[in-house]
Amino acid sequence: MTQNIDVASHPDEMRSIDDLKRRNAIKASRTMLLMQWPVYTVLGLIGILLPYLGSVDEVALIGTILLISAMTQIVILLKYGINPGFAWRFSLTVVTVIACILVLTGALENYFSIEQIVGGYLAGTGGYTVIEGRYSFSSRHIESVVYCGYFGGVMGLMLFTGWPDLTWWTPVTSLSLYLLALGYTARVFIYREKK
């Protein structure tokens, strides 16, 4: 049996439902950050250090980094389930999987370069980070989360447009720096929240 709630006569109940939804969204976002910061930090370090240790196929490295990121996001989706913010996290996972497939298969290499694919991915995920930071973490040390999103967006646009010269600024470097920044930001945010 369902009970209809009259919003006008029960504003406190509606406020408590909204508070509960907000707390669930914050919990989901915190869980996502808690699970991702070690993965992103390690992937970022691998992406930065591995090319200096020897010859590495950049496309395979980017594809592997994106694949591991996508698998981490899928685990988070399955662990947390359908709760507030699910659509955002699902969309981010789909974008990561699509970017991974495009990089590994070279399906659109006649239309888009690897720089444009990774740049579009970084710009999109940077935008997601800014939106989630403002929505889920309002008044909870969001500055670092939002700045990290802006960083990813700017790096993505720089890669997509080819500015500055991409001789030293490669897609794997950009992706790795963004993952390091995201991992650091997530770690700082999580431990600030515990205090």
Average pLDDT of the chain? 82
Find how far residue 8's CA is from the centre of its chain. 39
H helices, E strands: number in the chain: 6, 0
Contact 107, 155 (CB under 8 A): no
What single string gives the DSSP state of each residue in 114-152?
Answer: HHHHHHHHHHHHHHHHHHHHHHHSTTSSHHHHHHHHHHH
8 Å CB contact between 160 and 115: yes
The total of other beta-carbon atoms located within 10 Å of residue 8's CB is: 7
Would you give the DSSP letter of residue 107? T
Confidence label for 12 from pLDDT (cuts 50, 70 and 90): low
More confident residue, 57 or 10: 57
Q: Max Cα separation, the chain?
A: 69
More confident residue, 79 or 49: 49
**The pLDDT value given to residue 96:** 95
Q: Give the model's pLDDT for residue 2.
A: 47
Query: Which residue, among 69, 67, 60, 61, has the nearest Cα to 183 in the 3D structure?
Result: 69
Of 84-93, 116-125, 149-158, 169-178, minimum mean pLDDT range:
84-93
pLDDT digits (tens, 9 = 90+) for 99-111: 999 999 998 989 9
pTM of the entire predicted model: 0.79
More confident residue, 83 or 137: 83
The residue among 75, 85, 86, 93 whose CA lies nearest residue 34 is 75
User: Tens digits of per-residue pLDDT, 139-167?
Assistant: 555 778 888 899 999 999 999 988 877 67
pLDDT given for residue 162 in this prediction: 85
